[in-house]
Amino acid sequence: MPKLDPRRIVDGQRQITILKNIPPTSAGREFELRGEVIGVYDKGKAGTVTETQHELVEKTTGEVYTRIVSSSFAVGQGNWGGPKGTMHPRVRECTDGFVGPKGVNYPPPEEKKPDATFTFATSPSQTLLYRLNGDYNPLHADPTIGLQMGFPGAILHGLCTWNIAAHGVLKTFGGSDPARLKSFQARFAAPVMPGDKLIVDMWLTGRKVDGGEEVVFVTRVEGGKVVLSNGRALLSGVEAGGASKL
């Protein structure tokens, strides 16, 4: 595969599965983040998709605390003769669209109002604040790069939007207790601009999976398009929720 320009890479979809609660301190323990590339797909003129898996492992015991499966999209960096899409045997669910094989979708119930809604007003400096986490992709700081890619300017990190949605789901249905979150995923459908207000609509499906109750959600910008689709969370001890704001 070719060398990809990291300045022109955006997130496709991300899923985290929490197998064991992460301790508040690593004192007396040693952790490793073990990653592997599990798929690379050539999408022609549109670009290249890279799918990775990372596991947070306690080194001495080998216990896996979390597993994250992610896909990223290198815009306009395709046509290098690679495979269009294959399924890695360790991946149960894959995205469609960017990634080759079609995976499981979690659309909201038709003709049913959301069981709860969470809103979050981002700030004009949201990208500069979020990049302090360590994601220094200049796409989120230099407006000229965003303009070159067809965006209005520097766009918000997809993971910032993803984490805001996770915060809203957990606050609304899990009492903001991180021990209740079992799984969380969403597909990055469209960019968010700093200053946009995010609206997270949530539905309880009544399904119980792997010890958690299923919540599906869609995140959009106020008065505009969907920015996170295929949203799904599994929580234990779901509490009745209402409209929330932050």
Task: Identify any residues that bridge with 70 across adjacent strands, giving them in sequence order.
Answer: 14, 52
pLDDT in tens, 223-242: 989 999 999 999 998 876 55
52-78 per-position pLDDT tens digit: 999 999 999 999 999 999 998 898 888
CATH of the domain at 12: 3.10.129.10
**Rounded Cα gap, residues 186 and 135, in angstroms:** 19
- Identify whether residues 178 and 77 lie together within a single domain: no
| pLDDT for position 87 | 42
Calpha distance 57→61 (Å, rounded): 8
My answer on whether 125 and 94 are in the same domain is: no
Count how many Cα atoms sit within 13 Å of the Cα of residue 130 in the half-sphere of its side chain.
23
pLDDT tens sequence across 177-228? 999 999 999 999 999 999 999 999 999 999 999 889 999 999 999 998 999 9
Check: CB of residue 158 under 8 Å from CB of residue 29. Answer: no
| Judgement on whether residues 69 and 87 belong to the same structural domain of the protein | yes
pLDDT, residue 81, reads: 86
Higher pLDDT, 102 or 114: 114
Same-domain status, 87 and 136: no
Residue pLDDT, tens place only, 15-34: 999 999 988 888 999 999 99
Averaged pLDDT for residues 77-104: 56
Are 58 and 111 found together in one domain? no
- Are residues 55 and 100 both part of a single domain? yes
Q: Give the separation between CA 217 and CA 162, rounded to whole angstroms.
A: 11
pLDDT at 88: 41
Q: Do both 30 and 4 map to the same domain?
A: yes
- Give me the mean pLDDT over the 36-44 stretch: 90
User: Are 113 and 229 contained in the same domain?
Assistant: yes
The strand order across the sheet containing 9-18 reads: 31-42, 47-58, 64-75, 9-18, 181-188, 226-235, 212-221, 197-209, 116-121, 244-245
pLDDT of residue 85: 65
Q: Which of 174, 138, 149 is nearest to 18 (CA)?
A: 174
Q: Which of 78, 104, 130 is the last residue of a domain?
A: 104
Number of domains in the chain: 2
Q: Where among 70, 86, 104 does a domain terminate? A: 104
* pLDDT given at position 96: 36
For the chain, percent of residues with pLDDT exceeding 90? 63
pLDDT at 17: 96
170 within 8 A of 176, measured Cβ to Cβ: yes
Same-domain status, 124 and 225? yes
Q: Are 146 and 126 in the same domain?
A: yes
Domain boundary among 61, 80, 104: 104
DSSP class per residue in 170-190: HHHHHTT-GGGEEEEEEEE-S
pLDDT for the residue numbered 6:
82
| Same domain (yes/no): 179, 83 | no
- Note the pLDDT tens digit of each residue in 140-152: 999 998 898 888 9
pLDDT higher than 50, residue 157? yes
- The pTM for the full model equals 0.83
Return d(Cα 126, Cα 158) in angstroms, integer.
Answer: 12
Boundaries of domain holding 35: 1-104
Nearest one of 175, 169, 137 to 156, comparing CA atoms: 137
Check whether 90 has a pLDDT greater than 70: no
- Do both 124 and 160 map to the same domain? yes
How high is the pLDDT of residue 82? 83
